[in-house]
Amino acid sequence: MDRVLVTGGAGYIGSHACKALKAAGFLPVTFDSLVTGWRDAVRFGPFEEGDLLDRARLDQVFATHRPVAVMHFAALSQVGESMSDPGRYWRNNVAGSLTLIEAACAAGCMDFVFSSTCATYGDQDGVVLTEDSPQHPINAYGASKRAIEEMLRDFEVAHGLRHVIFRYFNVAGADPEAEVGEFHQPETHLIPLMLDAIDGRRAGLTIFGTDYDTPDGTCIRDYVHVMDLVEAHVLGLNWLRGGKGSRVFNLGTGHGFSVREVIAQSGAVTNREVPFTEGGRRAGDCTRLVSGSSRAEAELGWRPTRSTMGQMIADAWRWHQNGHYDR
């Protein structure tokens, strides 16, 4: 069985990717530092603990498992933190990715699937973002991801590293079977924060900014179900394994939801009131990000079948009620 090295495989998206890879006939090998990931989330293949900045450890893992490809999710991803501590993001995300890419090339593992973000586009209101939209990130998180994209292109020219880059923004939902799900400490994502507030695990939700130039004054984001998202990553892996060239794909539904709209949907799905307060804007937040995915649909055959807001909240609520991790 072909092995795939999944960095960040103990995290939210990475653990779901491991489940999808196993279902597709691969053996996922999780590489994770457990700084933000969870050991309990590693359920679908071998686990190797380590830091991306540790080249010797990476070389050891490549030699032991001989993966046919890398699926790279490991990254710090909090926009607000990236604005206050950019050095941590450049060191972890960029230097860590460089170490990983160099180790992969040295091991002859030349198929690389990268988890990027629509945050590389910055604040471009009133448009549906395409893969050819200009990239002008407004926070260190987005800038670090753009830098890694450029790094991959350079390593393709120099060493033949084939890559698929996926850009997406808000990932939501959970494994419908509730084997793995979304669980961060601290939690920063809107839907799990809302579910915590509904469930009484926190005093309430804070809406950061109500004076944006949107119909209801709150930020608008495109949400994709995590299971649809990781299915695209498996398709991207098969794209590379089939001998096709490097490519960039956006993953989104083309439809954005405001914070207030998500709150309303959460109340409808759970049949509970969402307690919230209104606060000021956070540094680095864009007004509106909506990502089209026509290229992924046309070239990969990707269809986001679970990415309705109601389904994403329902699956997240099921996980929220049934599953949490212990380190």
Query: What residues act catalytically?
Result: 141
**Angular region, 91: left φ>0, alpha ψ -120 to 50, beta rest:** alpha
What's the distance, CA 204 to chain centroid?
25
Residues 142 and 137: their CA atoms lie apart, in Å, by 5
In the chain, what is the greatest distance between 2 CA atoms, to the nearest angstrom? 56
Identity of the residue numbered 112: F
Residues 268 and 226: their CA atoms lie apart, in Å, by 21
Close Cβ partners of 55 (under 8 Å, ≥ 6 residues apart): 99, 102, 103
Close Cβ partners of 125 (under 8 Å, ≥ 6 residues apart): 213, 287, 288
